[in-house]
Chains A and B, each alone.
Chain A
Amino acid sequence: MKLINLDIATPEKKIFSGKVREITAPGIKGEFGVLSEHAPFTTILAPGVVEIIYEDGKKELLAVSGGYIEVNREKVILLVETAQKEEEIDIETIKRRKEEKEKLLKGKDKKDIDYDKTQIELFKEISKLKAYETLQRRKKV
């Protein structure tokens, strides 16, 4: 089976570069799969799950929060804002942190700068939680 070169980059760093067998990504107009020799094409990605099947048939799910994909003759370039791998998500810690932040927020004054900071941190935890939930849902299907 022919393989495709895949590059995944987030604004902060390159997270993957190598050969894969298949990619499934949530396009803005619906999910699509890419195999080798796909016609050149680009689209905007919606938030969702990217599925990668590696050379050895191993499957990996990535929760992404939107991005851009380009499929050209040589390779596939996937630019995503954030990408969470399943094994990187420690659900218990996230839940605990989320609760801590929520508790902190209740005790704070809204005008406080720390309030804003805590709220953003809470938002981060929530978005990680969402990523995890999407992954779980996807797994069941």
Chain B
Amino acid sequence: MATLRTIRKRIKSAKNIQQITRAMKLVAAAKLKKAQERILSARVYADKIKEVIAELISGIEEKEYPLLCENTEIKKEAFILITSDKGLCGSFNSNLLKEAIYKLRECNDLNLILIGKKGFDYLKKFNKEVEIFKYNDKRIDWYDIEEIGNLVINNYLKKKYKKVNLIYSEFQSSLQQKIKKEVILPIKVEELKQGKIEKRDFLYEPDEKTVLNALLEKYIKTVLLRVILESQASEHGVRMVSMEMATNNAADIIKSLTLLANKTRQAAITKEILEIVGGAEAIKG
């Protein structure tokens, strides 16, 4: 049986852990809020671009726009995986990596584009071609997006990829994480056509095709930015929940350990009393 001292030690370390997890939960909550704000402020730009594309895209010949059609004759696919940089966020990364492995098995000829250190560390051992790797932290900004976006778009236009897949974690609420698989290239016209399609009486300079092409590229980049921001928000949300759970678990452990400590203490006292009584009896006798 454990001595009182070791039990007390364990209680203390459980308390320390509880303190840390509670602090991490609060930090994650604050970061989640910031990440959500970033998503919201990024929406103005993305919505506007989407709106204009929706307007221009009706009644065009899709074949004229290479970003809209699949490069069917090529086998190689590109694959963008967005994970987090840090752990301690429950099954956030392992869920994403599970999907990734599934994809790796399905398709042999892959080019990886990894955002987030966890995914990079894990997929390193598969010896796949890693085209680009980025840390997925709060410093990721438009320059990084531009770099990734230009690389993907250029390679796609050079007919290096059949299509570009994307796996990320969509932000729904902090309680749940939804793994999303999307094809970002070729762009699906149907998705963009939603909403109002009435064409306004506008001058397009130099012409509609150039404007639309430039906007489609920008659209891809705004999609990338959005999914990265969403995955960050999702990461913080999941971390918040799992740290909350860890804090509760620590509380449970502390409770049962305290009970055990009390019992041990009582047993020790009872034992001592019995010994004294026994001793006294012996002297009397």
Contact = CB atoms under 8 A, between A and B. Distances in A.
Interface of A: 7, 9-14, 27-29, 39-44, 68, 70, 72, 77, 79, 81-82, 113, 116-117, 120, 123-124, 127
Contacts of A11: 42, 45-46, 142, 145, 221-222, 225
B102 interface: no
22 contacts: A10-B45, A10-B142, A11-B46, A11-B222, A11-B225, A12-B225, A14-B41, A29-B206, A41-B205, A42-B202, A43-B204, A70-B52, A77-B48, A79-B218, A81-B142, A81-B146, A81-B218, A113-B133, A117-B135, A120-B143, A120-B147, A124-B143
B201 interface: yes
Interface in B39-68: 41-42, 44-46, 48-49, 52
A29 B200 CA distance: 22
A41 B205 CA distance: 8
Nearest to B46: A11
Interface residues of B, number: 33
A27 B49 contact: no
Contacts of B45: 9-12, 79
A44 B208 CA distance: 10
Interface of B: 38, 41-42, 44-46, 48-49, 52, 133, 135, 141-147, 200-206, 210-211, 214-215, 218, 221-222, 225
